[in-house]
Amino acid sequence: MSEGPMTGPREGLAMLADPRLLADSLTVGIVVSDADGRIIDINQTGLDLLGVDEVGYGELGLRGAQWDVIKPDGTAFRHHELPIIETLATGTARRGVLMGTSNARHARRWITVDTALAPLVDGTIGAIATFTDTSEAFRGRLAFELVNAVNHIVMNARSADDCLADICRAFIDPGTYALAWVGVAATDHDGVEILYADGATEYLYEGIVSWWGTEDSGRGPTGTALRTGVSQVCWNLPENAVVSEWRERASVHGLGSSVALPFSYKGRRACLTVYDGDRFWFDDATVASLEAVVREMSFGLDHVRASEQLAAAFEGTLAALSQMTESRDPYTAGHQSKVGQLSAAIAAELGLEDDMVHLIALSAEVHDIGKVAIPAEILTRPGRLSAVEYEMVKSHCDVGRDILLQASLPWPIAEVAGQHHERGDGSGYPLGLEMGDISLPARIVMVADVVEAMTNHRPYRPGLGLDVALTEIRDGAGTRYDADVAQICLRLFDEGFRFQTTKR
């Protein structure tokens, strides 16, 4: 082995016949700028990642018209915010800055940028930036966040319609997409009914979408997806002949590409169409991830719809029970419904969650269900009841509670039936409970029940009127009746609350 002078790593690199070979062989983009921020050199990977021409890049600088640069939230970088410019201004290196770059030649790429100061051969101080393509990771994170958002929306949705509206909103959150809308194929014509939309909706409402291929308006991605049941991608919207009717509007509203994702909604053909400002954003991987989001959405919507149908059946059953009770006692027809109105108003003013307000209203609707066990002639008899008959009437609390418990209804429905005749001072029935042992829903229904019952006629006495009923609540506040509930009840009537007559 021959011996010769050893060189260090740095000296060895300097011996390369063409030092650019090293820079151009790297998979990392490299940009060098002068002290004013003008690009003076860029390696081949940098050219490829940015999609710029080698000729003339130096004249454009970092504000060059060849590409756009945005932040993860979708807003543009201002010149002084660019990592190289910040490094030149402050002398501080930047690490891990995420930037989205795009131009007319390729889809937006997300790059992670590091910068540092760099001495130049002319004695001035410039800057160097290295950057790697992290688009795949960015797209994956975006898809993951959308799936999580959709799952959260579905799990907390009150209705399928609310669910769709919230999903459209999730798609246009900052840094996501420019427009998202859901449409269904019309059943009586060839148009598409827009159910929900969020984002750049002006683009949508200025035109007509069809789902029949016999018209230009039906040959676009949404119409085709509705007809075929297959996802449709449309790149370069401002110049794409397939969407000739929409090209000008797409340019005006900054929409570059779209994907139409078909699904089924309430037995009808439906489509979620999503738009991005980038002209080539929806590649195969992105479309596959969005199709997964739509599958999750469709599955969730089916679950929400099933829950809606179950809730409707449940409330229909309670309404039937309420009607059955009142049909045996025509003097109190509408009583439970009116108690429900006032109970819901009080519960809402107390600041309870909407779901609990609704359950309290439902509880009030059937609080007297136990009266089905009392002979009708006792319920409708004018005049005073005997002691035995009165004990029979009082039993409706226990009977109602037991009936509703056996039906496995949600809390507090059965408890309200059992406690609505209790009183905070222990003078009520059936158990003589005191205030701390009576549930809040029962304390609410208790007050509403007293007001409605005293105001209106009963077989054994004429109606006493609203003023007398409210005096009872005022006098019993803090003893027989919960003080907060009583105060809110009185205030509601002062502000104009009145019972509404309902028809069954």
Cα dist. 320→316, 317, 355, 369, 420 in Å?
6, 5, 21, 11, 20
Binning the chain into helix, strand and coil, the percentages to the nearest 5 are 50, 20, 35
Q: Distance between CA atoms of 366 and 368, rounded to whole angstroms?
A: 5
Instruction: Look at residue 329 in the predicted model and tell me its pLDDT.
Output: 64
Residue 460: CA count within 13 A, CB half-sphere: 13
Kindly report which listed range (73-77, 225-229, 487-491) carries the lowest average pLDDT score: 73-77
Q: Distance between CA atoms of 389 and 384, rounded to whole angstroms?
A: 9
Task: Please give the structure tokens belonging to residue 435.
Answer: 């205030």
- Residues 466, 365: contact at Cβ < 8 Å? no
Question: Does the fold of domain 139-306 match that of domain 17-133?
Answer: yes
Class of domain 328-494: mainly alpha
pTM higher than the cut 0.85: no
User: What are the tens digits of pLDDT across the range 230-288?
Assistant: 999 998 888 887 777 788 888 888 898 999 999 988 888 999 999 988 888 888 888 98
Task: Please give the structure tokens belonging to residue 84.
Answer: 């190289």
CATH superfamily of 139-306: GAF domain (3.30.450.40)
* Nearest residue to 488 (alpha-carbon basis) of 338, 350, 309: 350
Residue 145, pLDDT above cutoff 80: yes
Q: Distance between CA atoms of 471 and 457, rounded to whole angstroms?
A: 17
Q: Exposed, middle or buried by CB within 10 Å (0-12, 13-18, 19+), for 402?
A: middle
Local confidence band at 55 (pLDDT 50, 70, 90 cut-offs):
very low
For the domain bounded by 17-133, which CATH number is listed?
A: 3.30.450.20
* Nearest residue to 272 (alpha-carbon basis) of 186, 192, 173: 192
Residue 70, pLDDT above cutoff 50: yes
Local confidence band at 330 (pLDDT 50, 70, 90 cut-offs):
low
The number of residues in the chain equals 504
* Nearest residue to 33 (alpha-carbon basis) of 134, 105, 97, 113: 113
- Residues 421, 429: contact at Cβ < 8 Å? yes
Domain segments of the chain: what residues? 17-133, 139-306, 328-494
Q: CB count, 10 Å around CB of 69?
A: 20
Q: Distance between CA atoms of 27 and 23, rounded to whole angstroms?
A: 9
Residue 76, pLDDT above cutoff 90: no
Contacts by 206-211 with C-beta closer than 8 Å and gap 24+? 206/249, 207/245, 207/246, 207/249, 209/183, 211/185, 211/186, 211/269
Instruction: Look at residue 492 in the predicted model and tell me its pLDDT.
Output: 95
Q: Mean pLDDT for the chain?
A: 82
Residue 57, pLDDT above cutoff 70: no
